[in-house]
Amino acid sequence: MGRPAVFVRLSRCVPPFCPWCDTVYARNRGETLDIGEVVDRVLDFKNNFVVITGGEPFLQWDSGLRELEERLIAAGCKIQYETSGKLAIPLNCRGYKVCSPKFLKGAWRFVEGNIHVADIFKFVAADDFRLLEGFIEKYEIPRQKIWIMPLGARRSDQLKLYARVWDYCVRKKFNFAPRLHVLAFDRRKGI
């Protein structure tokens, strides 16, 4: 948290889609790049911490993501994945895995085997924490692996929920996950 990173956003996602999604453009086909070109662009930032996200990044594991991971690690990069957990996290994935399960259309959209593969769980929360608590209790997720983030893609949305989510995290001994880039830059892209 708070560490500057190079973000690699992969396109395509797995339905059902999040109604609050702030990266709708990532659902469809993006710009097609050679793996070497992606590596070069990442390395040009002179930052060895790389966050690979989506859409749903693991949709592309067998079509280039695995090779991208290998090449970035060989170049000295540390990798963190951001996944919804709607697909199985590959067991041979070497990056740090942040799983953010979503409750959509009346059910958790989540592959249960990810419980033992994910390094941490990040939940987006608004005002009803009961669903989160049910998921956490069902899978017996240790408190230190739980991060709660206020829902909202705008600074004003974040600030409305900030204190409530903070108080909840303090009470439950969960980690608090503010969206620092949103608080600092609001909706500005390319930061």
Residue 10 in any domain: the answer is: yes
Statement to judge: residues 4 and 89 lie in one domain: yes
Secondary structure (DSSP) of 31-44: ----HHHHHHHHHH
Q: What residues make up the domain containing 133?
A: 119-191
Average pLDDT over all residues of the chain: 91
For position 51, which CATH number holds?
A: 3.20.20.70
Write out pLDDT tens, residues 56-102: 999 999 999 999 999 999 999 999 999 999 999 999 999 999 999 99
Is 7 found in the same domain as 31? yes
Mean pLDDT of 119-136: 92
Q: Which of 88, 138, 95 has its CA nearest to residue 119? A: 95
